[in-house]
Structure formats: C-alpha cells, structure tokens
Structure 1
Amino acid sequence: MDNEEVKLLLVKYITGEATVQELEQVKQWISAHPENEQYFAQLYETWHNMLYLQPAVVNKDNAFNKLSADIEPKQPSRYARLITWGKAAAAIALLTAVTATLYTRYSKNVESVRQIAANPGAIKKIVLSDGTQVWLNAGSKLNYTADFGKTTRTVYLEGEAFFDIAPGKKTVPFIVNTKNYTIRDIGTKFNLKAYATDPFFETTVVKGEVSVEGNIDNNVHEMSRIYVKPRQVLRIYYHPKKESYSYTAPDTKNLNEIQVSEIDSAKLDRYDGWKENLLVFDGTTLSDIAKVLERRYNVTINMTDAELSSIRYSGSFKNIPSIEKVLAIIKANTAINYSVSGNTVNITRNNNND
C-alpha cells in the first residue's frame, strides 16, 4: 500500500465508513509495527475528542488548528518508523494529508452529534438504538452521532455512566471515548467515571472485559493499554495543578498513579449502586463524599476547615430524598456540624466531639 491508500483507509475507518475488507486492511497495518499502533490511537482519539467535546459549537478554523496541533509529531525522528515502507518525510506527509481530509469531514459530522444529559440531582436511563442500556449519573453527558448502531457504536462520555452493552457484530465494537481515554469492548457491563472536575479516571467491570487505551505510560503498563477483568477496578490519578484547585483539564503527561484492584462481589454496589439510588461510602474521605453529594443533590458544599477533607466515613444511603438527612446521619458518627441555606451547604468541625 502507498501513502494515498493508507490515508484513505485510515480516514474511512475513523469516520466509520470502512467496509469489512478495509477494516481488516487497517488492522493489518496497525499490527505491522508498534509505532503504527501509537499513531493510529493518537489520531483516532483526537478525531473523536474534536467531534464530541463541543457539538453545539463549530469553529472551523479552531477545529483545524487543534486537530493539526494534536497529531503533529513532536519528534520527527521517532516517527520515522511509523510507516514501514517510508521515511520520516513520508510519515509527516501522511499526517498532514490525513489531517486535511478529516478536517473536510469535521463540519459534516459534528452537526450530526446527539447529546443526552442528566441534570445535577437527577439520574437518567436510556436505551441506544443497538439495545445497549446506559444509566447516566447526575451532571453527566453522553454524545453520539446520528449513524450510531449502523457503521459505528462509538459514544463520548463526560461524567459517570453504567453501560450494559448489547451484543453486536465483532466488526463494530462498542467504544466509549472520554477526555483522556478510550474504553473498548463488546457485550459487557461496566461503570465508567470520568468527571472533568475529578482528579482521577475510573472504570469498574461487573461482567466481561474491557481495554482502556490512551496515554498510559509507566513501568507496569508499557503498551498504552490496560485490560480490566470482572470485579476489577482501574483508577488512574492525575497530578493536581498547583496553581489552581480545579481539575477541569487533567494532563495525561502528568499521571500520578495507576491502580488495578480486585473487589468482592458484595462490594460492587460501592461503584454502581448509584443507578439504584444507593450511595455507598467505604472509608471515603469527606472531600470525595462532598463531590458525590453535590452532584446527587444539586448543591454546593463548602468546608472551611482544611482538615475536614481528610476525615473518612463509611456508610450507605438508600433513597434518601434530601441532603439534610444524609448529613444528619454522617454527623451522628463524625465530628462535623453543618448548615443548609438554599442550595449551599456549609460543613464545619465539631470540636465538642474530639
């Protein structure tokens, strides 16, 4: 295959227009060299991030500039091995050609994006056209294109969702893109947590197996991919930005820690119980509990004492209608006081319980 053939195949694959035979050709090209796989993963992730992040705002110039910048090789010498039949110049030429071709399709595709959102304080269940069931947690958004279920089964998630994936053709895998990672599998059940304001990414597999792909780079996981099996939790932490309290734009180059842990079947509800209005905390810090409660009850929680955030609490709540009742239960077992004014909650230390 020459560069033009590769360019056309990659574009058709990424935009969901490839035939079965073309899908096989792309897979063979990807598997021919590790650098081919890295390049494809980067290009694929960039395309879907561009397509789904802001479906209501189409700025062609910004889209082209961002797409070009995101896939431009930082070290040309490293990418000299991207294409087994070419040199560095050929690799860069292919990058430029694919970028330009994808750009011409960007406006057309972005206009077809559909979005479903669960408002703060609410949980929403939906059934996609392929039969997949999705529960969206409070403050979450799920985006997908109008041709979902035909040539592609790719969605974009911002927030938290539980997926019960319907069986499908092996040539059309179910893929969930998040800001930093891609989750891939067919016929499985898993919970995925990828809130922009959280300092971590997390997925919990209930049934089946998923692969998590992206900028994963440490001594344990060398291939930018981690497989998560039933009753396992993968959590990837980000380094917090020192100049800002916000985690709205985690940098995948600054990964802090990657954890894969086994969990008992009896404790799975800690990760997916939310879809049944069950909140489970197992030695969870008060700062993490506050984030969950803010989304569930659509409130803002302030803690004036910095030491409060490290207090740990264990307990479960089923169908509790108001945050006051949740806080009253926590207060009975923890050294805190609280006050509620409208949608604002203030939590302070109760020194009398020390």
Structure 2
Amino acid sequence: MKISAQLLEKYFKGLCTDEEAEMVAAYLEGDSTPEADEYFLQALEDTSDVPVISAPQKEVKSVRRMLPVFSTAAVLLLLLSVLAWLWTSQRRHKSVQVALLTDTIVNNTNTIRLVHMADGSKIWLNTNSSIVYNRQYNGTNRDIWLQGEAYFDVSKQVAPFRVHTASLVTTVLGTSFNISTDNRANGAIQISLVTGKVAVSHMLKGSPFRHILKPGEMIEYIEGIEPGKPHAFNNNAVLGWKNYKLVFDKTTLEDAFAMLENRYNCKITIKDTKLIKKEISGVFNSTQSIKSILETLSYVHRFSYEYGADTNHYIIRRK
C-alpha cells in the first residue's frame, strides 16, 4: 500500500476523516512503510533548529555497585519524533519561553498512579517515580520531565509532547510508549514503542545514526555510546509493572537488582562479580516484600544476603 505525504500530514495533525484515519493506521501497522519513513526523516532534517526546553535541576537517585555505573546525565541529545507539527510554526522560532512555575507529581507509594493530563493524555507512573511539568502545559508546549518509569498514552494535539529523561528527549504525537531510566545497571535509558511510530535521531551535528522505531521495538541509550539498532522487546517484561508484576526474562542479576532497587527504594550491592551477569527468569508479584523475592532468588541461584536496616541496604554474596 502506498500513501502520500499530504495524507500522513493530515493524519498526524488529527485532520483525517474516519475512513482516511483507518487507512493510514492500517498502513503504519504494515512491515514496509517507506513513504512514512522518508517523511519522518525529512521532517527531522527540517527541524534541526527546533529548540528544546532545558530541564529543571533535579537530584537523580544514585545506585551503589561493585562495578562502575554510568550516569544518564549525558552531553548528547537523542530526539525521538513523530513529526507533522514539528516542521510547522515551531521550526521558525529560535527561542522558547520557559515557564518559571512548575508542578511536580511524585509517586512514593506502593501502588501505580494514573495521571490524567489536561490534553487528554494519560500517564501511568510507577512507584518511586516522578514527573515535572510547567504550568503552560497544553498551551505553548507539552513538556514533561521524568525520573523513574512511566507509560504514556498520548493524545493527538498540535502542540509537541516531549518527555525529557536526563539528556534525552522523546517527542511523539498520538502514540503509546514506555520509558525507563532506572531498570538497567549500566544506566541505560530504555524507550519501548507499543503503538504508533517514532523517528530516532541525534541532535548533534554530524551524528551518523537515525532510526525509525516501529511497534514492538526498543532502543537503549547509554551516555557517550551510540545506540545500536532498535530491537524487539518482551512486552510482558517491559510493561508487567503496570499489572503489578516484576517479569525477569533472561535478565542478569545486576539488572534484576536495579529493578528491585527502583521498585523498593533500597540499595543492593553485589559483592561477588561472578553473580553480576548470571541470568534469571521468573515472575513475581510486585506487591510482595523484597525479602520474599530475595529469598526465592537466593535459593535458586545460590547466593546469600545481609540487610542493614539503618541504611536500607542489602549486601549480596555468593554461597
């Protein structure tokens, strides 16, 4: 099926008829979408001068490990765009007014929090996660700063919807995706696309890579390292947290412990480096205690742990 750039433009602006919208949606779900890919990439080139609002200063939770952990506060900028509106009026402006007033939503409970934004977008905020947005949201911009993990279901609007995670910016329109900043021991930020389509590109001049994410694909970014090609992800493993599940699918122990740290707001240190890359699989209910999870894992994978109540710190040792 072939489709025109004009129809794609109408679709992403939300101007299609029901019949046209169904046709474009069916096209985008196909395996081969060269017209859309070309359209997305051309728009990225046209918006190379689009300004990005600076994130407010925010303390980032540190994780202590035996191996070095890379910070997500990078100098590089990764832009994920689903286009349409990006190359209209925004690209002609060289500056953006940054709101001085912001609102913060923090989920420090043991339950998942559903946030309804003014534009109709919905955000599922995982435990020990937070979002910050300025009070001009749904006006001049739709910028959100995320620390932790969240699932976004974005409504179609003309104003950009951008999620800032450290030095990365995810820009989308009318799509659903998951972003995690704390689930990898190496500090990687993971962006997983569930529906829709986004283009991925460096904003730095001379950057060689540019990708199109399709539903079911994930890209991971580590500070100072060019991302590899998008790859498939386990939907249950990435989105299980929305159903209060911790899903490990050939997950290394260091990554599993990073997930537990984020979920239970604790510190876990692995003393034996031989355990770090050991892979585990299994499903746990995230409402159960971390001690019960560690008991199960320690029995199966032969490690012991000590707990310091004064520091909320678990020490893992090989048996």
TM-score (norm 1): 0.61
1:255 partner SS: coil
CA separation of 1:136 and 1:268: change in aligned 2, threshold 3 A: same
How far apart, in 2, do the equivalents of 1:198 and 1:304 lie?
Answer: 17
Q: 1:152-172, CA deviations, whole angstroms, 9 ceiling, x for partnerless residues?
A: 222222322110112x33x22
1:264-316, Cα deviation, whole Å (9 max, x unpaired): xxx30201111221111111111111111111112211221122211111111
Measure, in 2, the Cα distance between the counterparts of 1:200 and 1:154: 21
Distance (whole Å) between structure 2 residues aligned to residue 179 and residue 55 of structure 1: 9
Contact 2:269 2:316 in 1 (8 A): yes
2-structure distance, mates of 1:307, 1:33: 44
CA, structure 1 residues 121+299, in 2 after alignment: closer, same or farther (shift >3 Å)?
farther
Aligned to 1:210: 198
Take 2:193 and 2:254, find their aligned partners in 1: how far apart are those partners? 25
Q: Please point out which of 160, 163, 186 is paired with 2:173.
A: 186
1:157-199 Cα offsets, whole Å, 9 max, x none, are 2322110112x33x22322222222212222111012349852
Q: Matched residues in 1 for 2:286 and 2:237: separation?
A: 15
- 1:315 alignment partner AA: G
1:321 is displaced (CA, Å) by 1.9
Q: Where is the helix percentage greater, Structure 1 or Structure 2?
A: 1
Map of 2:225 onto structure 1? 255
Could you tell me how far apart the structure 2 residues matched to 1:37 and 1:118 are? 34
Shift of the 262–325 alpha-carbon distance from structure 1 to 2, 3 Å rule, reads same
CA RMSD, aligned part only?
Answer: 3.3
Task: Kindly tell me the number of residue pairs found equivalent between the two proteins.
Answer: 245
Return 5+ residue gaps in structure 1 as ranges: 1-30, 57-69, 71-96, 239-249
Cα offset, 1:217, TM superposition: 8.8
Q: Is the contact made by 1:183 and 1:213 (CA closer than 8 Å) also made in structure 2?
A: no
Query: Is 2:200 the partner of 1:200?
Result: no
Amino acid at match of 1:210: V
Structure with larger Rg: 1
| Equivalent residue, structure 1, for 2:57 | 54
The alignment status of 1:294 with 2:261, answered yes or no, reads yes
- Relative distance call for 1:197 and 1:121 in structure 2 (3 A) is farther
Provide TM-score, normalisation by structure 2.
0.67
> Aligned partners of 2:58 and 2:274: how far apart in 1?
40
Greater RCO, 1 or 2 (C-alpha within 8 Å, sep 6+): 2
The structure 1 residue matched to 2:220, chosen from 235, 238, 254, is: 235
8 Å Cα contact 2:103/2:133 also seen in 1: yes
- For 1:196-345, what aligned pairs fall within 5 Å after superposition? 198-215=186-203, 222=208, 225-236=210-221, 238=222, 250=223, 254-263=224-233, 267-342=234-309, 343-345=312-314
Contact 1:133 1:164 in 2 (8 A): yes
Give a deviation string over 1:1-20, Cα, whole Å, max 9, x none: xxxxxxxxxxxxxxxxxxxx
Q: Which runs of 5 or more residues in structure 2 are unaligned? A: 1-41, 60-74, 76-92
Instruction: Give the counterpart letter for 2:176 in structure 1.
Output: K
The answer to whether the 8 A contact 1:181-1:214 is kept is no
CA contact (8 A) 1:180 1:214 kept: no
Are the structure 2 counterparts of residues 177 and 33 from structure 1 closer, same or farther at C-alpha, using a change threshold of 3 Å? closer
**1:140 aligned to 113, 121, 129, which one?**
129
